[in-house]
Structure 1
Amino acid sequence: MFYTNITRIKDFFILGFSGLSPEYYGPVSALLFMLYVVIAVGNLFILIVVKCEISLHKPTYLIFCHLALTDLAFGTVTLPKIISKYWFNDSIISFYGCFVQMYFVHSLGAIHSFLLMVMALDRFIAVCAPLRYTVLFTNTTVSVLCGISWIMPMSWMVRVVLDASSLPFCDSNIIVQCYCEHIATISLSCENVRAVWALAFGLAMFSLLLPLGFVIFSYFVIIVVVTRISSSEGRIRTLSTCTPQLLITFLYYMPRCFMYMANDAGLPISLPVRIVVVMLYTHLPPAVNPMIYCLKTKDIKEKLKKKTFVSKFHISTKSG
């Protein structure tokens, strides 16, 4: 156990999965490493495919690129440190390194949430105003909206992290989490953190509930519009264009809403289980999202099939 009685500590200790036996350190680090490889390869693949295929330079796929970039960045910010803890027994993170990690962790989470709102707007216009879609929702419009989605959280998170880093830490420096999460870190302060927590909580709720509210509203309107389509084939075709966005949105919001409701309802969730659940809902979606983009999106799927066919054709020609 690491403790200090000075007002400015130099390092934090990442506890990781509470109660995990040392005999499982190897398998856990290998599993986390494989998870990071899947996140990195999958999201880099999406970025490269969309970049190289001019026919995919459309608003929907530009949004996918922004989402893939946030997923890749989030995995890169959080996983290497916890992997090194279990692989190399390196649990120490510097004081300022911890707050830099905190900044990117919470900024990227909020950015992803706002990007989901932009994605919902994309489907809203495509379904409700299909004839005006190409005019209302251009690549330039998407770039501006996505840029705002990045700039807003990154701006206000500076204040949140500066407030947290200015707190005196004079007792324990053990962060009971797999990375420097805001609440887990400021709870180590020996000063009243209510004001610091209230600001961060308010901004977190704003970045979660505003996009979620718009997403619910937009898909409600979409469902109403779809039910008015006369042919069943048209209804299915229209809904199928929303499937990737719905799956991605569900994977992001539902676990978070469940955890908030569980806290409010006073459900007895033990600390080890809570840490595992947080790691699952923050890292599994970045690993799964690229597969959703590829398998559930017609244009990307057709491009992959065409590339696979061409590759097989060249191989068979050479062998013949």
Structure 2
Amino acid sequence: MEETSLFLRGAKLLPYPMSDSNISDFTNPSTFILLGIPGLETAHVWISIPFCAMYAIALLGNVAILFIVKTEPSLHEPMYYFLCMLAITDLVLSTSILPKILSIFWFNSREINFTACLTQMYFMHCFTVMGSGIFVAMAYDRYVAICDPLRHSTILTNWVVAKLGLVLVLRSIILILPHPLLARQWPYCRTNIIPHSYCEHIAVVKLACADIRVSSYYGLSVAFLVTGLDVFFIAVSYTQILRAIFRLSTKDARLKTFGTCSSHLCVILASYIPALFSFLTHRFGQNVPPYFHILVANVYILVPPMLNPIIYGMRTKQIRDRLLHLFTDKGN
């Protein structure tokens, strides 16, 4: 962070001189300045092309999933209700950051209101946690469907699915709410320039001229607690699922049963692998250029919402057939 601050001062990007009077006055900035991807400013327009394409695919794909499930009565089942929750989560997550990123890349519109920055931070982290929780709910659905199929319809009723969805929403709201509340109370007397493309939590609170260990430790605790517990429950569910699959008598039955889980597993990998890679580069990539960290952070947010509808569209027969039916009808 010190190297970044020195670089910014050398480039004369700091709008406020670091005098004692300004330190006392500049405690609640009206705006922050997002730099986009520092070091790759000349390539912003080119970088925006794949970013815009990913966003367009995410919008079209997730809206298509929602439309197909809504209009096809045979898809009114827990698995597809959870898929709709995931689609909504992906839409909000990508929309919370990408329009602003594109405005930076295309129009050099770097200012963001202080409250808008904290709101973006909250939505981005809240819906990331929510998506992780939905993966657990989907794993539980697959566990019941394979390990106790005769009771699936009685265990996962519409009311139970609705309660699970409400619990996941409340968990995300409560766990992430301290992020913007703590960030709002810190005094910001160093600079209002964020060397990032969006208002990521730590990137914002690092600008505070106060002891931010509470924010830092809480953020790490939530990340480890949520990810650790969610991955644990998913692993337990799939351990039981695999045991049930291997007990099946024929190879065809095993493959067919495992095929019902393949889409969910692919989506989990598409979401957790970029997140793990982002975490490892931040923790152990001291020699990695800062712009690479920011690119990875953007990929971590943008790629899963794009891939999820593609994976489910290609690997789920009911959705694939419905899509083909829609295009066939339009062709006729």
Q: Do both proteins adopt the same fold according to a TM-score greater than 0.5, normalized to the shorter chain?
A: yes
* Residue 286 to residue 12, structure 1, CA distance change in 2 (3 Å): same
* 1:46-125 matched pairs, under 5 angstroms: 46-125=65-144
Q: CA deviation at 1:267?
A: 5.9
Q: CA deviation at 1:257?
A: 2.4
CA distance in 1, matches of 2:326, 2:99: 33
2:201 to 177, 182, 196: 182
Q: CA deviation at 1:151?
A: 1.5
What residue is the counterpart of 2:19 in the other structure? Answer: none
- Aligned partner of 1:74: which letter? L
CA contact (8 A) 2:65 2:309 kept: yes
Q: CA deviation at 1:266?
A: 5.7
CA distance in 2, matches of 1:188, 1:21: 21
CA distance in 1, matches of 2:286, 2:117: 30
CA contact (8 A) 2:282 2:293 kept: no
Secondary structure of 2:145's counterpart equals: helix
CA distance in 1, matches of 2:91, 2:279: 25
Q: CA deviation at 1:144?
A: 1.1
CA distance in 2, matches of 1:50, 1:68: 11
Q: CA deviation at 1:246?
A: 0.1
Q: CA deviation at 1:200?
A: 2.2
Q: CA deviation at 1:275?
A: 0.9
Q: CA deviation at 1:261?
A: 4.1
Q: Deviations over 1:129-164 (max 9, x none)?
A: 111111111222112111211121112322221111
What residue is the counterpart of 1:211 in the other structure? Answer: 230
Q: Deviations over 1:13-41 (max 9, x none)?
A: 1111121143x333233332222221111
CA contact (8 A) 1:243 1:296 kept: yes
CA distance in 1, matches of 2:260, 2:239: 15
CA distance in 2, matches of 1:108, 1:66: 11
* TM-score (structure 1 length as normaliser): 0.93
CA distance in 2, matches of 1:290, 1:251: 11
Q: CA deviation at 1:258?
A: 3.2
What residue is the counterpart of 2:251 in the other structure? Answer: 232
1:288 aligns to 2:316 (yes or no): no
CA distance in 2, matches of 1:309, 1:89: 43
CA distance in 2, matches of 1:293, 1:100: 30
CA distance in 2, matches of 1:262, 1:172: 25
Give aligned-pair identity as a percent: 33
CA distance in 1, matches of 2:105, 2:327: 39
Gaps of 5+ in 2: 1-12, 17-21
What residue is the counterpart of 1:13 in the other structure? Answer: 33
